[in-house]
């Protein structure tokens, strides 16, 4: 068994693709429209779906926003330099919601950013 993907419902697909590709450095791997079901799937990630877990961004054409609920936590991404990643994301119009620094009760350097739909993404030094 292996993890294939995590699905996020997004309100504006182009805005989300921009965030994950331009600000977080992922690649758009594939995009498929399903007119009969009125939705589009876009898969983004750091490598091929064959070798890596990816994100599936699902856009239901008639829905422009979602309530996140209280069960969602975050997606974690390893970066070389958390401080530089946050500056790059902020300069690109992204939202840093927890500034870079050591985690509470530990020494791991991390930060949190938020995607256009409010999903939290943790950036970890590694």
- 112 and 82 belong to one structural domain: yes
Q: Reading across the β-sheet that carries 95-102, which strands appear in turn?
A: 75-79, 120-125, 109-114, 95-102
pLDDT one-digit tens code per residue, 88-111: 999 999 999 999 999 988 889 999
pTM to 2 decimals? Answer: 0.91
Q: What is the pLDDT of residue 49?
A: 95
Structural domain for 19, as ranges? 5-60
Q: Which residues pair with 111 in a beta bridge?
A: 123
- 56 and 80 belong to one structural domain: no
User: What is the domain count for the chain?
Assistant: 2
Is residue 69 one of the residues assigned to a domain?
Answer: no
- 50 and 11 belong to one structural domain: yes
Is residue 65 one of the residues assigned to a domain?
Answer: no
Which positions are annotated as active-site residues? 122
pLDDT grade for 126, boundaries at 50, 70 and 90: confident
Six-digit token string for 111: 């930060």
CATH number at residue 48: 3.10.180.10
Residue 1 has pLDDT above 90, yes or no: no
pLDDT one-digit tens code per residue, 16-67: 999 999 999 999 999 999 999 999 999 999 999 999 999 999 999 999 999 9
Is residue 67 one of the residues assigned to a domain?
Answer: no
Q: Which residues pair with 120 in a beta bridge?
A: 114
């Amino acid at each position: 068994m292996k993890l294939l993907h995590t699905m996020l419902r997004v309100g504006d697909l182009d805005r989300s693709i921009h965030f994950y590709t331009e600000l977080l450095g992922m690649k758009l791997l594939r995009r498929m429209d399903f007119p009969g079901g009125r939705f589009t799937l876009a898969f983004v990630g750091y490598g091929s779906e064959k070798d890596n877990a990816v994100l599936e961004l699902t856009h239901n054409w008639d829905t422009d926003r979602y309530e996140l609920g209280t069960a969602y936590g975050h997606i974690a991404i390893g970066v070389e330099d958390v401080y530089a990643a946050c500056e790059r994301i902020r300069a690109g119009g992204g939202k840093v919601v927890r500034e870079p620094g050591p985690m509470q009760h530990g020494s791991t350097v991390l930060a949190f950013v938020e995607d256009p739909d409010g999903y939290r993404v943790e950036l970890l030094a590694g």
